[in-house]
Structure 1
Amino acid sequence: MVAGPTSAGPGKDRLRLWIRLLRASRTIEAELRERLKKEFDTTLPRFNVMAALYRAPEGMLMSDLSRFLLVSNGNVTGIVDRLVSEGLVARARRNGDRRTSMVRLTEEG
């Protein structure tokens, strides 16, 4: 028997599953964002930057940090600028090269 266009075949089941997973993911992310704001007065992007730096105690190049987080260099630069101004991270030039910066958590961060 050939399945017609209205039958619920494996393709539709997969699509329904993906939609449910997407909804669950969005619900979890919204809750996480709310808790980060309420309990730590921070945002998810700031948390992601600090968590990545926590895993790299020696620091990370800004370009590596943006690749790791799958965001643009400009996005990371803005977040790091604010974290530097708050004393949570430190930025230093790498081996005198003005084009590259290393970022690491501070004691406060």
Structure 2
Amino acid sequence: MKKLLPILMMLFAFSFGANAQQAKERKPFPEEKAKQETFELSKAVEVDGATQQALFQLFLKKHKDLDNENVKLTEADKQQLSSIIDAKLRATLSDDQIQKLQSVGLYEKLIH
């Protein structure tokens, strides 16, 4: 009985350590990535609520497509996705907003 308590304590300590490592290795969900990109864009240029929501949906689709483990995208597919995002951003934002995003280096990150 005396040996059981230290064994249980060690087992608990090791399982806790393993769970902590798993939490660190978790990849962000597409929703989190899309929210972060929308936030960064909103900090760089002013957009209204409807535009912000539309851009969030665009970035969400991008990350769902890129993170889909069932479908492996080729480089051509990724380039096509990038072109679509580029076109939608250019249709949604003004030229001044696009230039501002490019000047801070955010535009390339958003389309890739």
Q: TM-score, normalised by structure 2?
A: 0.32
Q: Larger relative CO (CA 8 A, sep 6+): 1 or 2?
A: 2
Structure (1/2) with the larger strand percentage: 1
Q: TM-score, normalised by structure 1?
A: 0.32
Structure (1/2) with the larger helix percentage: 2
